[in-house]
Chain A
Amino acid sequence: MTVAGPELVWGLLIAVYLYLGGMSGGMWMAAFAAEYSGRDEYLPFTKTAVYLAPVLLAVGTLLLVLDLARPSREPLGLLHIMNVFNNPTSIMTLGSIIISSAIIWGLVTAVIYFANASRRVRLFFSFIAALLGFATAAYTGLLLALARDVPLWASGWLSWLFVTSGVSSGIAAAIVATRVLGELAPSYILPEFKKYRDKWAEVAEKAHSYDIKVMWMELAALVAWLLTVYIRYGPAPVTWLFTGIAGAAFAAYLVLGWALPVALYYLYPRKESWVNIYLGALLIAVLALALRYAVLTAPQLAELAAGLPIG
């Protein structure tokens, strides 16, 4: 099982954790932006993002704990790592504090939205959630970049790639989830969904158009990251990203998770179209995982293939 571990130091579980961390962070940032706009018809979208984000991050954190070689050492997950007096110099300590705070604050924010608090209260809670969401998404990249010994990760740009990818996949997942919840959820649980039914298409289109703008920023971060690595370490680490299973995952992200949704958007502009918005959003949301998997495993798989110890 080379692809998912256990030969890999960090395998599929950690890739999913990085993916969910970025996506939930992006959802909180998108929720705040939607709330800030002050338009009531965005409420189904905002609520979907606010309800989903803490759940996704909690699932990701659970996967992280499961990936620990000795999760039994910490039955309460990250509590021990969270202790700032333990080792304040470790980025992992800082990250566990950020993630735990984000989950707790995110759950409180979800309750605030469920209780239909006033807009001023919602704005305050979603603003703090967005800050913690940004920190979570940024941390997932910095964790890798600060590992120091893996040239492919050794760039501050990697963190910005994960932030932009987190926002794009977060918006995309929220677009799809809003529609699914709108169709399926009983109106006594989510009354606004039915109330703004005639606005669904307009909101989805608007959110998707912002998402495409973020996708261009994501591409810029991706190019800058690879250029930085190339200048520092030469071509070897970059070529690994185009080799083997990691290469297939990276190609899938580039073609299906970036180029196709962007092409669909420009081919079917300003129309409510299942192909343009929902298929595009679904591809963006899902293929962000392929990016995380490729970035995480490319150097490890290359070392394995070269008969070198991983690490």
Chain B
Amino acid sequence: MPLTPGKAVLYDSEKCIGCRACEVACHQWNSLPADDTSFSPDYTNPPHVTSRSWTTVTFHELGGGDGKPPLWVFVKIQCFHCLTPTCATVCPTKAFHIDPLTGAVVWDPEKCIGCKYCIEACPFDIPRLDPSTKRVVKCTFCVDRIQHGIPPACVQACPTGALYFDDYDRVVAKAKELEAKGRIVYGLREVGGTRFMIALPRGVKPEDVGLPSPVTKKPGYAVAPVGAEDYWGYAATILGEWGAVGVVGGLILAGLWWREKRMRERRSGGGS
């Protein structure tokens, strides 16, 4: 945990106009090269974060039909900067750590060996392997800016004030205000809380816009009891199951072995 409550960003989807200034600002501040563009059924481009685009605005057309226009929803995706980050927990070389001042989950490219475990483990599907440098990369929360008293590049570039940046406690208070007004704030509780939170438009659920709910990132899954907690809750479930199977299975095998041994002894005893 950071020395201070740290910082957080609340993204208000209702204020977002999908201009993607945040994407451009992120590219500029982090000197990221351009991504190859590709067409997709909606206007989302790139379709998810990549090693060159650490944030992307996804577009979702919900409802509509029968003469009614659809609800057009924008959702900014980036690293959620979990309070208990799975990437940092599973990384064998400790390439990820929590910045003590801001609470951001930052990474050290020199420590990364490219085992890719974080890519498989992140509940939000964020880390990417940069094919040119062979290192895993992701959003840094612009800690280098925050340390100098200026907000992250995406926050500064947003023309509509959809990105609210402040101390974590204040952002949480604001998020709860929005919740009280019937909005779902994604990230307030998921995986034990995150520093990037998404206030969805009224009536929109996380799964409507492809957000993992609770933490199963791919659409089409039933609600999952595993993984809704933080990583240690998940690990305890898996390891508990593994241990229970081992103990019960071991007892059964030991019982069978003992029975066979006894029968063998009886047979040899009867023959003598």
Contact = CB atoms under 8 A, between A and B. Distances in A.
Interface in A136-180: 138, 142, 145-151, 154-157, 159-160
A51 B122 CA distance: 39
A307 B115 contact: no
A311 B122 contact: yes
A304 B103 CA distance: 33
A86 interface: yes
Q: Is the interface of B mostly helix, strand, loop or mixed?
A: loop
Contacts of B174: none
Interface in A1-51: 6, 9-10
A233 B216 contact: yes
A93 interface: yes
Given A9-B119, A90-B89, 5 more contacts: A91-B90, A92-B92, A148-B231, A149-B217, A311-B119
Nearest to B46: A309
Interface stretch (B1-9, B160-168, B199-207, B234-242): B234-242
Contacts of B235: 146, 148
B116 interface: yes
Interface residues of A, number: 49
A148 B216 CA distance: 9
30 contacts: A9-B119, A10-B116, A10-B120, A69-B114, A69-B116, A70-B134, A74-B113, A80-B93, A87-B89, A87-B93, A92-B117, A93-B92, A146-B239, A148-B123, A148-B234, A149-B120, A149-B123, A149-B215, A149-B217, A149-B227, A151-B216, A154-B226, A155-B241, A156-B244, A157-B245, A217-B249, A232-B225, A309-B50, A310-B119, A311-B127
Nearest to A90: B92
B238 A234 contact: no
Given A69-B114, A160-B242, A9 B120 contact: yes
A297 interface: no
Nearest to A213: B256
Number of chain B interface residues as a range: 35 or more
Interface in B222-272: 222, 224-227, 231, 234-235, 238-246, 249
Given A69-B135, A149-B121, A237-B221, A155 B92 contact: no
B219 to A, nearest CB: 9
A303 interface: yes
Interface in B112-167: 112-117, 119-123, 125, 127-129, 131, 134-136
Given A96-B92, A311-B122, A233 B222 contact: yes
A81 B135 contact: no
B170 interface: no
Interface string A173-213: 00000000000000000000000000000000000000000
Contact of B121 (A147, A236, A237): A147
Contacts of B49: 309
Contacts of A306: 218
A159 B218 contact: no
Interface string A60-88: 00000000111101100000110000110
A69 B116 CA distance: 8
Given A9-B116, A92-B117, A310-B119, A86 B94 contact: yes
